[in-house]
Each structure stands twice: as C-alpha cells, then as structure tokens.
C-alpha cells in the first residue's frame, strides 16, 4: 500500500513534469498553409486526415499521443473553454452533432490549431496539477475508506462481544441451557413448574428464543418439575392384574417410587400377584400419593434346580463368614456342634459337601463346628470344703457350710449342678454351689449382749447357715443395765434345726 501511495507525492509529480516537458515549435501556421490544405468543409473523415499533418509539426517531438489527448480533453472540459464551460455543458454537444457538422470555417480551424499550439506548453502544468489533485483525492478516499472500515470492524467486534444469538432450548434439558449460558456468560433465571407431560428438568418455555440479545439481559426459562408428587393416585386391585399391566399402570401414571419385584414361588404361577407393601405403614390404597413408596411382588414361578454353585473350603472360615456366603449364594447352611479336644470353639470340624462340588439353591450344606474342649462339673463329694473351691477349673464354684441334723460336721451335703455335666465356651455357665455340713445347731451363751445385737447374731450364726432358729424377748426386773441379756431358755446346748429360744432382757429395775 505504501508503494502505491508514493505515486501520488509532489516529488513524483515534479519528476514526471521534467520528463514530459513540452517544447513548442517556432513554426507558425499561416493562412496560406490553411488555404493550401484545400479545406472547404470538414467532416469526420476530413478531420482524421488533418491529424497526420499536425503530427509533422515539432509538437510531436515533445508531446506524446496520451498527453495530446489529455490536452484536447482538458480544453473541451475545462471551465476556461468558451466562457468557463463546465463538463456538464460540454456534454450537450454530442458526438453525432459533431459528425453532422459540415460547415467549418477556415477562421475557426485556424483559431483552434493556434490555440492548441499556444496552450500546450502553458497548460501542461495545469493538466499535471489536475492529475496530482486526482491522485490526492484517491489517496484521501482510500484513507477515509480504511478508517471507516476500521471503525465498522471495531463496532462489529464490540457488538459481537456484547451480544449473542439465543438458541431455542425448548424441549432440551436445563443443564444444556446452563452449559451454553456459562460458555457465553449469560445469566439464566429458571422458573420450575409441575408438568405431567414433560419430564423433570426439561425446558417448556423460553423468552427471546432465536433472537440476538445483550449478554447483560437475563434469559427467562420455564422448566418442568415433572408430575406433581402430591397428587393422589387411585390404585387398582393389583391382585387381579398380571405383571405387564401393573408395569403399564406404573409407567402411565409416572409412579417413580413404585417398583415391581419378582420372586420365586413354589405355589403361585409365573407373573401372578403375590403381595404389595408400602414403605410407610400409615399409607393405604385410598390415601396413596405419587410420592409414596410402594413395592409390588409378583411370582417368577418355581425356581429351577440348577447345580451351578461351587462349594468352597469352609475349614478356615468363621461362622459369620459362612453365613455371609450363604446369603450371597442363596444356599441354605445348617450348623451342628461337637466337642473337640484339638479345635477351638467355632472352628469347622467338617462339611457335608466337599470343596469344589456344585450345589443348587434348594440344597442344604451341613457344617459341623467345634465346641472346643468341654468343661466337666466334678463330683464334690470327693472333696472337702477347703478343696471344693479349686476342684473345677474354668468353672465358677461357690462353696458353703450349713447346719444339718443328719450329716456330721464337714460332711458333703449337695451340689447345685450334677457331677459330669459338661459346659463349653459358647455356653452360659451358672454358678456351681457345693454344700458341706456344720453339724447340729449349738446355742451359745448370749448373756451380756444387748437387745439390739440379737438380730445380727441369730441371722449370721443360724439363719444364714440353714438353721431356722428364732427368738422371743421377755423383759424382767434386774439390776443389770436396761436392754442387756440376762437369761435364755437354751444355753450351751444342741437344738433342732427349727426351734425358738426365749431371751430375757433387763428392764433396769431391782427385784
């Protein structure tokens, strides 16, 4: 562009003027020459014949055909010609009128040729000035046009950055619209309403769709919440409907929280109703709403017997691990227990189906678990009272002594758990009580004790040890301190296991 505009500079113009400087000839065109040309009338053919005569003049040495054409055009279009005629007035004379002009006088032709020769040198600069002005005008036009285009481009870029064409999101998901809004920095405002016909989060209405909007403008969308969950639904009698009709009812009414579960049944035919359960027990078929949870159970028919479940090695597994496998595979497992001198409690002793064999879901596998080493209750009659507490290892033993009219002192009376009874670690083991005899009841002298001590004495010495010995109080006059035992009906003697002893208590008065 810079190379092109350099052609319009004033230096370029001066250089061109020097190269094309017009040299006027000294020869004058006389009337005789004109007369000798025998020009009586000029038509278009004659005028063409004159042109070669003019080329013989010295003007052809300095003026090129292009410059001559410019000079002639300038003379006929310039304002200085015939009273400053402008281009519009000159065009009033058409080419046809010139061609039809047959009467051209000698004076007119002579005047035209002389003016042409005289003005060639003087008007050359004028022609050049007009050319320079034209180039400058073109240059200014290019600059102005470029500036206008730049302004338009900037305005268009700014408009493109601040405006965007809004697509039609109707029928599309809200997430699609939000993704577009995030990419184009447009704010969305979504209003949500229940609409049975439209799925949840589907746009059902949009403002300004397919229009170009400012990014500062909020786009309003209306989206569906799906069917109203609070709407009451009248449930049919599913017990009279096959599973296909039940599924169709669920789909038609858009019961999102209602499901169909198929279970095997040995008695109910395939696709036949089994039962229905509500997650909320307070819900009834009459109060059921779309949001409530309902499970319909239908039969899959009898479970096919296929032995396709491989049995693992249970020997290293615990009872809990075996139960987990049973639930996952649907295979029944039965447990049996047996004592073992070598295996700890709950360790597998044996399994009815060997490792690697295959069973079906109707089969049952029997697993025998260890009870561990048994703990046997000993025969405490073989031990004394002092030996009894350590006679049974790992068993809780309580040894005690009681009065007996028949068993002599130190003799074995009884034990709460029979000898030979076995317990294992998994069992709840009760306390084992071993009872030994204290012999007959012997009433000691209570004289000197206070009345208040008698309760503890009789309980600790007699009642707690199996003797049913009670006492009665008699108050007597005595110089002893009031409340002191001064006498008793049985003193330092053996009594039966059941008897009553009378105790005399001083009232503190003299006899």
The pLDDT assigned to 144 comes to 87
Task: Enumerate the domain spans of the chain.
Answer: 2-135, 166-224, 238-301, 309-370, 375-437, 441-506
DSSP string computed for 259-309: EEEEEE-SSSPTT-EEEEEESSTT--TTT-BTTS-EEEEEEEESPP----E
Query: ∠ CA 489-495-501 to the nearest 5 degrees?
Result: 30
Confirm if 231 and 208 have CB atoms less than 8 A apart: no
* Confidence label for 304 from pLDDT (cuts 50, 70 and 90): confident
Quick one: tokens of 76?
A: 């006929």
Asked if the model's pLDDT at residue 31 lies above 50, the reply is no
CA distance 121 to 117: 8
pLDDT score recorded for residue 53: 45
Percent of the chain with pLDDT over 90: 48
Task: Say how far apart CA 419 and CA 381 lie, in whole Å.
Answer: 9
Host H or E run for residue 332:
strand 332-338
Q: Does residue 245 contact residue 196 with C-beta atoms inside 8 Å?
A: no
CA distance 283 to 278: 7
pLDDT reported for residue 426: 83
User: What pLDDT was estimated at residue 91?
Assistant: 41
In 3D space, the residue among 234, 263, 166, 162 whose CA is nearest the CA of residue 206 turns out to be: 166
Residue 46 tokens read as 């004659």
**pLDDT reported for residue 155:** 81
**Taking a C-beta distance cutoff of 8 angstroms, is the pair 206, 224 a contact?**
no
Q: Three-class SS of residue 487?
A: strand
Q: Please tell us whether the domain made up of 441-506 is placed in CATH 1.10.1040.10.
A: no
- How would residue 241 be classed by pLDDT, with cut points 50, 70 and 90? very high
Q: Tell me the average pLDDT across 80-96.
A: 42
Q: How confident is the model at residue 161 (pLDDT cuts 50, 70, 90)?
A: confident
Average pLDDT, the chain: 80
Query: Tokens representing 122?
Result: 């003087």
194 pLDDT higher than 80: yes
Contact in structure between 494 and 441 (CB atoms under 8 Å): yes
Q: Does domain 166-224 have CATH number 3.30.10.20?
A: yes
* Poorest-pLDDT segment among 126-130, 198-202, 374-378: 126-130
User: What is the mean pLDDT of the segment spanning 127-136?
Assistant: 74
3-state SS, residue 403? coil
Buried b (16+ CB within 10 A) or exposed e, 274-311: bebebeeeeeeeeebebebebebbbbbeeeeeeeebeb
According to DSSP, the residues that pair with 471 across neighbouring strands are 501
- pLDDT given at position 305: 80
Q: How confident is the model at residue 134 (pLDDT cuts 50, 70, 90)?
A: confident
Judged against a pLDDT cut of 90, whether residue 127 lies above it is answered with no
Q: How far is CA 61 from CA 18, 55, 122, 266, in A?
A: 15, 9, 17, 127
First to last CA, the chain: 157
CATH number of 309-370: 3.30.10.20
3-state secondary structure 17-80: HHHCCCCCCCCCCCHHHHHHCCCCCCCHHHHHHHHHHHHCCCHHHHCCHHHHHHHHHHHHHCCC
Residue linked to tokens 């020869």: 27
- Read off the pLDDT of residues 479-510 as tens digits, 9 standing for 90 and up: 899 999 999 999 999 999 999 999 999 998 87
Ranking 91-100, 390-399, 455-464 by mean pLDDT, the lowest is 91-100
Convert 99-153 into a string of H (helix), E (strand) and C (coil): HHCCCCCHHHHHHHHHHHHHHHHHCHHHHHHHHHHHHHHHHHHHHHHHHHHHHHH
The CATH number of 238-301 is: 3.30.10.20
Q: Would you tell me which CATH number, out of the four given (3.30.10.20, 1.10.10.10, 3.40.190.10, 3.90.1150.170), belongs to the domain 375-437?
A: 3.30.10.20
389-392 CB contacts, 8 Å cutoff, 24+ apart: 391/434, 392/432
The beta strands (E) that lie in 430-482 are given as: 432-437, 441-443, 468-476
């Amino acid at each position: 562009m810079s190379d092109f505009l350099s052609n319009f500079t004033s230096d370029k113009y001066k250089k061109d003027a020097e190269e094309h400087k017009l040299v006027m000839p000294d020869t004058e065109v006389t009337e005789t020459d004109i007369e000798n040309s025998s020009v009586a009338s000029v038509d278009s053919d004659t005028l063409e014949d004159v042109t070669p005569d003019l080329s013989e003049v010295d003007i052809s040495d300095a003026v090129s055909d292009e410059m001559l054409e410019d000079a002639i055009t300038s003379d006929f279009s310039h304002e200085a010609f015939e009273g400053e005629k402008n281009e519009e007035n000159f065009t009033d004379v058409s080419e046809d009128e010139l061609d039809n002009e047959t009467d051209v006088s000698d004076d007119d032709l002579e005047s035209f040729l002389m003016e042409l020769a005289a003005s060639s040198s003087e008007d050359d600069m004028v022609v050049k000035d007009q050319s320079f002005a034209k180039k400058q005008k073109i240059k200014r036009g290019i600059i102005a046009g470029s500036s206008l285009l730049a302004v338009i481009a900037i305005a268009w870029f700014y408009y493109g950055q601040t405006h965007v064409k809004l697509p039609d999101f109707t029928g599309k998901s809200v997430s699609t619209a939000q993704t577009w809004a995030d990419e184009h920095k447009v704010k969305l405002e979504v209003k949500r309403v229940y609409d049975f016909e439209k799925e949840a989060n589907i746009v059902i209405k949009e403002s300004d769709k397919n229009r170009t909007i400012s990014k500062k403008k909020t786009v309003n969308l209306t989206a569906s919440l799906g069917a109203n969950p609070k709407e009451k639904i009248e449930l049919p009698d599913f017990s009279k409907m096959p599973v296909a009709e039940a599924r169709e009812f669920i789909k038609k009414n858009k019961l999102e929280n209602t499901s169909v579960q198929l279970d095997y049944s040995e008695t109910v035919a395939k696709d036949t109703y089994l039962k229905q359960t509500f997650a909320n027990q307070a819900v009834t078929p009459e109060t059921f709403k779309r949001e409530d949870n309902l499970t319909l159970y239908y039969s899959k028919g009898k479970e096919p017997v296929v032995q396709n479940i491989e049995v693992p090695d249970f020997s290293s597994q615990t009872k809990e691990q075996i139960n987990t496998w049973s639930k996952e595979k649907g295979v029944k497992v039965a447990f049996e227990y047996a004592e073992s001198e070598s295996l700890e409690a709950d360790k597998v002793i044996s399994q009815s189906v060997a490792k690697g064999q295959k069973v079906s879901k109707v089969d049952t596998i029997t697993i025998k678990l260890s009870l561990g080493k048994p703990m046997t209750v000993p025969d405490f009659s073989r031990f004394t009272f002092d030996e009894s507490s350590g006679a049974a290892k790992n068993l809780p033993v309580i040894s005690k002594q009681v009065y007996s009219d028949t068993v002599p002192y130190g003799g074995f009376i009884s034990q709460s758990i029979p000898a030979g009874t076995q317990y294992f670690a998994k069992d709840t083991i009760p306390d084992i009580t071993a009872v030994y005899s204290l012999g007959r009841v012997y009433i000691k002298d209570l004289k000197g004790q206070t009345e208040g001590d008698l309760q503890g004495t009789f309980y600790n010495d007699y009642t707690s040890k199996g003797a049913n010995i009670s006492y009665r109080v008699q108050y007597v006059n005595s110089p002893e301190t009031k409340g002191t035992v001064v006498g008793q009906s049985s003193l330092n003697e053996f009594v039966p296991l059941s008897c009553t002893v009378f105790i005399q208590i001083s009232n503190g008065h003299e006899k």
